Chains A and B, each alone.
Chain A
Amino acid sequence: MARTLSTAAAINEALRIAMHSDPDVILLGEDVAGGGTRDQEGTDEIGGIIGVTRGLVKEFPGRVLDTPISEMGLLGTAVGAALTGLRPVAELMFIDFIGVCLDPLLNQAAKLRYMFGGKARVPLTVRTLTGAGMQAAAQHSQSLYWIPAGIPGLKTVIPSNAADAKGLLLASIRDDSPVVFCEPKRILFDQAEVPEHDYEIPLGKAAVVRQGSDVSLVAFGATVKTALMAAEQLAAEGVSAEVLDLRSLQPLDEEAILATLEKTGKLVVVDEATPRCGIASDVAALCVDRGFDFLNAPVKKVTAPHTPVPFSGVLEQAYMPSPERVLAAVREMS
């Protein structure tokens, strides 16, 4: 039987492979080595808040760096390191903190290669936790991937499972552009078969994760699970749903979205983020713009409401897109 890993372990493995294959790859972030609980020899490391980088500090001494609790300093350091030729992987503990360190990302990392006419490059990867579902409250549960996705010069990637997480992270680290690699909290402990070898999944390529002919469910990150559950229930009702996992939000695989829309004529986009100015709206706009003649029903968006993420577990569950809400959207259009 093939080997299974959690998404967190698959990310750990991708980091290990990247560090083995390229001595320029370094990790830095708050507690990525072990922080305050690490002893002098570095043997009691915790490896970040979820333990994703656990064990790497011992294996790669001097290349896994704990930083002070200053996202501005951490990202500034990482951009500088990337400019000097390293290939840093910075951990921004929660994407909720992107506001603190937006300048190094928005005005430095994203612009330098362009402004120096290609003579400078910023091969930086920023790993960051996204999404609700763990009762981490309004300041640690947001799905702000639409911020980096909307900044020209940055790439934004979001896996939905362990195998993709490994391949996408390796591709992100080896990409010469700055990449924001989102790690949805809700999938971190999901197990999946993960190949042991070194492999990359190309950025900007979506994947059809379930074939169908009646309606397309476009999802990414944790909502792929939601869409697959909805597709399963739809199948029981005789409706064949295709599920497209975007995998990258920027570059966005427009052709894959249009291809599934052409096939089914009906599209629901499932996005855990708030509804304004987001990926769901982008996908819907693409369908109306370039896919107009394919539309056999209105495009439906299933998103969170336009509110902060509630702490209450009951409200948080109601806040996130559920299979039931996907089903309701599909029923409305058929």
Chain B
Amino acid sequence: MPTPIAMPKLGMTMSEGAVLEWPIAVGARVEKGQTVVVIESEKAQFEVEATTSGFLRHVYVAPDPDSQVACGTVLGAITESLDEPFDAESFRRANDRQERKEAIPAQKSLSAVVASAPRLHVGRVPVAPAARALGKKLGVDPERVPGSGPGGRVTKEDVEAWAVKRERLVQVAPGIALEVPTEGDGDPVILLPGFGTDVSAFAAPARALAKRYRVRAVNPRGVGLSDAPEQERYDVAELAADAAALIDAPTHVVGASLGAAIAIELALTQVEKVRTLTLITPFVEADARLLAVLDAWCRVAAEASADTSAATLLPWLFSTGFLIDEAARRRAARGLASIVRRIPAAVLRRYFEGVRTWSSTRRSDLERIQVPTLVLVAAADLLAPGGESVAQAIPGATCAVMTGAGHALALEAPEAVTDAILAHLR
């Protein structure tokens, strides 16, 4: 086995030295303890002894008093015999221990020890102490603020940004202001998202509609930046009144799921404010499955992480054909998780109670709806399968059935939904 001869480190302050002489020739016999190389450092010469007996097989650094090499540099190699295999270059690479002047890059294992992240109690929003303190000062509940830090931690900056955005909210009732992102110019359109979702569910249609209309998407109570009054339930009638307060001229009203229920309520109670009605996967009778899923949604949101909630909800909201596409499924799960993260479980429960008390009270009233109505039905809708019967009950309503789509129609088939709405409004 070859043995390296290296530039020794003779004192704390020595970092380099020069090779002065190799007293024995390459290939010659060397005994343990015999001087094999003479080096110089800090004006002192030092004889380096062989640590083993054998043959001086290779010399890497030729004598040169003016050439300094770092401590640890391999200077030569001793082998037991002259005929054993020896690859000079790979031996040098394996044995060179040159002293480094500056810190070497962090060792992976050390960083990994430092990086072991704490696990948070599930369902709890991580809030930085500075964000909590600022929230108290500004009257903002930091747990409702979407967090931008690692693991969704709410930072001070997040609370600041939230407070700034809140100044732009629209007052709809005493003590209740809603977040209503508005885009475009033209005849007014209002978009009402469904249970447990926010305006982001309408991102695609809103963009397209804004080219021709003044589009107002509504984050209802407790969603996004909108106020979340503490009540036992959010009645559909109240939610419709909130929307009505935003309307000052006859408006195209578009609602999805619970948003469609609010749209129906608007069309029945605020006739003069509704110009057309677009109902996406609507229901007027929440069946046992819909109520069971909404109940589970509230519970999962309270007790599990946003990612787990999204994964649990996904199969109820999207069709098999959609879920089979791995990339689309992951994208939808991420989007859903980010929505779930921003809506407190307590708010969901209030909506659930609102749905429960509203449904089954309005089917007979549908025939009173006078405005042009489009009903978009998803053929593979597990949650609101009665969309076609809603269309049949509304005089003159057009019904479009989207084959192979699930309940979250605006998310699953945004282009088809956008085209249908544009055609209906024209």
- A residues contacting B by CB (< 8 A) are 49-50, 134-136, 140, 185, 189, 226, 229, 265, 292-297, 300, 302, 305, 313-314, 317-318, 320, 322-325, 328-329, 332-334
Contacts and interface: CB of A to CB of B under 8 A. Distances in A.
B12 A297 contact: no
Contacts of B72: 313
B97 interface: yes
A93 to B, nearest CB: 11
B156 A324 contact: no
B119 interface: no
A301 to B, nearest CB: 8
Contacts of A296: 128-131, 149, 155-157
What are the 8 tightest A-B residue pairs by CB atom distance, in nearest-first order?
A: A324-B106, A293-B133, A322-B103, A296-B130, A295-B129, A134-B12, A318-B107, A325-B106
Nearest to B157: A296
Given A292-B129, A296-B156, A297-B128, A328 B103 contact: no
Given A317-B100, A328-B111, A333-B150, A294 B129 contact: yes
A52 to B, nearest CB: 12
**Do most interface residues of chain B lie in helix, strand or loop, or is the interface mixed?**
loop
Contact of B12 (A185, A305, A314, A328): A185
B327 interface: no
A224 to B, nearest CB: 14
Contact of B97 (A134, A297, A314, A333): A314
Contacts of A300: 114
Q: How large, as a class, is the contact surface on chain B? A: 20 to 34
Given A324-B105, A328-B115, 18 more contacts: A49-B12, A135-B99, A229-B103, A265-B156, A292-B129, A293-B133, A294-B133, A296-B156, A297-B153, A297-B155, A300-B114, A302-B114, A305-B110, A314-B104, A322-B104, A323-B103, A333-B150, A334-B150
B9 interface: yes
A294 B155 CA distance: 11
B132 interface: yes
A313 B373 CA distance: 79
A265 B130 contact: yes
Contacts of A322: 103-106
Interface in B144-173: 149-150, 153, 155-157
B104 A318 contact: yes
Nearest to A287: B129
Contacts of B13: 50, 134, 189
B330 to A, nearest CB: 25
